[in-house]
C-alpha cells in the first residue's frame, strides 16, 4: 500500500470506528471532550505507525487498544485516577490496582448502549441547535471540523468554536452520559431526531451556496438514522424518520439537471428514482406503522413521501391523501411551514384557488416574512390561475429572499416566463415536503 492509500484507509476506518471508540471511552471517563482527545491520540498513533507497518487486519481493535493504553497512562499520572476515585468512592490504592481491568470492562460492554448514550449526550437540549448539529457530526458522524465547515459553508474556526463550547457546556452542566427514562427520554429523543433531520434537510435543499444539494450530508444523516433505528427498534417515529430520509434520498439523482440546475418534483424523470431506497423507505414506514399508536410527525411526513414514491407518474399522485396527511400533521405539530405545504397539496387536490386562499391566511405570519418559499408557492398558484403579472412579482420576491444560487436562478427563470398566456406551470419547491 502506498502512503496515500494508507491515509485513505485511515480516513475510512476513522469514520466507521470513531463513534464506537468515543462512546466507550466516554462511559468510562465521563467526559465527552476527554474521550475525544483519547480517540484522537489513537488516530495520531495510526497516522504515525500504519504507513510503516501497514493497516492492521482489525483496524478498529487496534485503535481501541491504542486508546486504552493512552487512558491507562493518564490513570497512572493520577489525573483520571482521582476523578475515578471521586465518582466511585474507591480507595486510591484500590483504584490504582483496578484501573486497567475497569477500563477493559467499560470498553467491552455493549457498544450499542454506548452509541445511544453518545447520541443523547451530543443532542442534549442544553446545547444550542448549531452546537448539537456540529457535535453530533463530529462525535457520532466521524466528520472532521473542516468537513463540517465545508458542508455548512461556515468558516472552520466557527465550527471549532461551536464544538468547544458544546463540550464545555456539557461539562459545566455535568450532563450524565446516560439514556434518559420516562418523559425525559421522549423529549431527548425528539432532540436527537430533530438534529438528524436538520442535517438531512440541509443536504437535501441547501439553504445557501452554489449547490442545490449536498449529498454527503444526506448520507451522513441517513447513516445516523439507521444507527438510531437499530439502537431503539421499538420507537415508531425513529423508523418514520428513516423512512422519510430513504424515500427522499431516492429522488436525488432526478432532482438535479445536467448543468446542476434544480428539477422540481413534477418535472422529474421517475425512472431515475432509486427503487432500492424506495423499497427500504416503504419497509421502514411499515415498521413504524406496525408498532402501533398514533403516527408521529416524521412518520406522517414519510407517509406523504410514500404517496409520491408509489405514483408511477406525476398525474397519478394521490393529492387528496397528501392534503389529509398534512391536516393530521398540522394538528400534531402546528407550524406555518406545514400549513404552507398543506396549501400546495390543497392546490393540487382541489384547485389553485383553494390553495391560494389557504396561502393567503399565512401572509401575515412573522416567521414567514423572510421565507422565500411563501412567495414561491404563491407565485406558482397565481401562475396556474393565469395571473401572470402577480406571479412574476412573487417569483421575483422569492428569488431576492433565497440564499441558494441555484434556487435563485430557477426562481428568476420562472419570473421571466410570466410574459403571457404561454407561461408554463410547475410545482413550487416546498422544503418540508422536499421535492
Is 396 within the bounds of a domain? yes
Domain boundary among 86, 109, 132: 109
CATH code assigned at 384:
1.25.40.10
Is 203 within the bounds of a domain? no
Burial 281-311 (b: 16+ CB within 10 A, else e): bbebbebbbebeeebbbbbbbbbbbbbbbee
For CA atoms 156, 161, 164, 170, the dihedral sign is: negative
Q: How far apart are CA 165 and CA 126, in angstroms?
A: 11
Is 31 within the bounds of a domain? yes
SS3 at position 77:
coil
Is 46 within the bounds of a domain? yes
pLDDT in single tens digits along all 435 residues of the chain: 677 788 888 888 888 888 888 988 888 778 888 889 999 999 899 889 988 888 888 888 888 888 888 887 877 765 545 655 565 554 434 444 444 454 454 444 444 578 889 999 999 999 999 999 999 999 988 888 998 998 888 899 999 999 999 999 999 998 988 888 888 888 889 999 999 999 999 999 888 888 888 888 999 999 999 999 998 999 999 999 999 999 999 999 999 999 889 999 999 999 999 999 999 999 999 999 999 888 999 999 999 999 999 999 999 999 999 999 999 999 999 999 999 999 999 999 999 999 999 999 999 999 999 999 999 999 999 999 999 999 999 999 999 999 999 999 999 999 999 975 554 444 444 444 444
CB 406 within 8 A of CB 260: yes
Q: How far apart are CA 391 and CA 379, in angstroms?
A: 4
Is 351 within the bounds of a domain? yes
Burial 173-183 (b: 16+ CB within 10 A, else e): eebebebeeee
Strands 403-404 and 208-209: parallel
Cell matching residue 338? 406545514
Sequence length of the chain is 435
Distances (CA, A) of 360 to 121, 159, 209, 264, 380: 42, 39, 30, 23, 13
Is 373 within the bounds of a domain? yes
Distances (CA, A) of 54 to 51, 59, 70, 230, 265: 6, 10, 21, 33, 48
Query: Can you list the alpha helix ranges (DSSP code H) found in 291-427?
Result: 297-310, 319-332, 336-349, 352-360, 373-384, 388-401, 405-416
What is the pTM assigned to this prediction?
0.80
CB 211 within 8 A of CB 260: yes
Domain count, the chain: 2
CB 299 within 8 A of CB 243: yes
Is 158 within the bounds of a domain? no
Domain with 36 in it? 1-109
The pLDDT of residue 293 is 86
The pLDDT of residue 29 is 79
SS3 at position 262:
strand
CB 59 within 8 A of CB 13: yes
Is 105 within the bounds of a domain? yes
What is the C-alpha radius of gyration for the chain, rounded to an integer number of angstroms?
25
The pLDDT of residue 161 is 96
Q: What is the pLDDT of residues 275-318, one digit of tens each?
A: 999 999 999 999 999 998 889 999 999 999 999 999 999 999 99
Query: Which residue shows C-alpha cell 389529509?
Result: 324
CB 99 within 8 A of CB 75: yes
Q: How far apart are CA 305 and CA 307, in angstroms?
A: 5
Q: How far apart are CA 262 and CA 251, in angstroms?
A: 12
Amino acid at each position: 500500500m502506498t502512503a496515500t492509500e494508507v491515509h485513505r484507509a485511515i480516513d475510512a476506518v476513522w469514520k466507521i470506528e470513531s463513534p464506537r471508540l468515543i462512546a466507550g471511552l466516554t462511559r468510562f471517563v465521563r467526559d465527552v471532550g476527554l474521550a475525544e482527545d483519547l480517540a484522537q491520540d489513537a488516530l495520531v498513533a495510526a497516522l504515525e505507525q500504519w504507513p510503516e507497518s501497514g493497516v492492521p487486519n482489525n483496524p478498529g481493535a487496534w485503535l481501541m487498544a491504542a486508546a486504552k493504553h493512552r487512558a491507562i497512562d493518564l490513570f497512572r499520572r493520577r489525573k483520571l485516577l482521582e476523578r475515578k476515585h471521586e465518582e466511585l468512592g474507591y480507595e486510591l490504592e484500590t483504584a490504582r490496582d483496578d484501573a486497567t481491568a475497569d477500563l477493559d470492562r467499560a470498553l467491552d460492554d455493549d457498544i450499542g448502549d454506548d452509541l445511544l448514550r453518545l447520541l443523547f449526550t451530543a443532542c442534549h437540549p442544553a446545547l444550542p441547535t448549531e452546537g448539537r448539529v456540529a457535535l453530533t457530526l463530529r462525535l457520532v458522524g466521524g466528520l472532521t471540523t473542516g468537513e463540517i465547515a465545508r458542508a455548512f459553508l461556515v468558516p472552520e474556526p466557527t465550527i471549532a468554536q461551536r464544538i468547544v463550547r458544546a463540550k464545555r457546556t456539557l461539562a459545566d452542566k455535568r450532563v450524565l452520559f446516560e439514556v434518559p427514562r420516562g418523559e425525559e427520554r421522549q423529549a431527548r429523543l425528539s432532540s436527537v431526531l430533530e438534529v438528524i433531520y436538520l442535517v438531512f434537510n440541509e443536504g437535501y435543499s441547501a439553504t445557501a451556496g452554489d449547490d442545490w444539494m449536498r449529498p454527503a450530508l444526506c448520507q451522513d444523516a441517513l447513516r445516523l438514522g439507521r444507527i438510531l433505528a437499530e439502537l431503539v427498534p421499538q420507537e415508531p417515529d425513529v423508523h418514520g424518520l428513516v423512512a422519510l430520509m430513504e424515500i427522499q434520498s431516492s429522488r436525488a439523482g432526478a432532482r438535479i439537471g445536467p448543468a446542476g440546475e434544480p428539477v422540481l418534483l413534477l418535472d422529474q424523470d421517475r425512472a431515475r428514482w432509486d427503487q432500492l431506497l424506495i423499497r427500504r423507505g416503504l419497509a421502514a414506514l411499515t415498521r413504524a406503522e406496525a408498532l402501533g399508536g398514533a403516527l408521529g410527525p416524521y412518520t406522517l411526513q414519510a407517509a406523504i413521501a410514500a404517496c409520491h414514491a408509489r405514483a408511477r407518474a406525476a398525474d397519478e399522485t394521490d393529492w387528496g391523501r397528501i392534503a389529509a396527511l398534512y391536516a393530521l400533521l398540522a394538528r400534531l405539530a402546528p407550524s406555518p411551514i406545514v400549513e404552507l405545504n398543506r396549501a400546495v397539496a390543497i392546490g393540487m387536490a382541489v384547485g389553485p384557488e383553494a390553495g391560494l386562499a389557504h396561502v393567503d391566511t399565512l401572509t401575515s405570519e412573522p416567521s414567514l416574512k423572510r421565507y422565500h418559499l411563501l412567495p414561491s408557492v404563491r407565485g406558482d398558484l397565481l401562475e396556474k390561475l393565469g395571473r401572470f403579472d402577480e406571479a412574476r412579482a412573487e417569483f421575483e420576491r422569492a428569488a431576492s429572499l433565497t440564499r441558494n444560487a441555484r434556487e435563485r436562478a430557477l426562481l428568476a427563470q420562472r419570473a421571466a416566463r410570466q410574459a403571457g398566456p404561454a407561461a408554463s406551470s410547475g410545482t413550487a419547491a416546498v422544503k418540508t415536503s422536499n421535492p
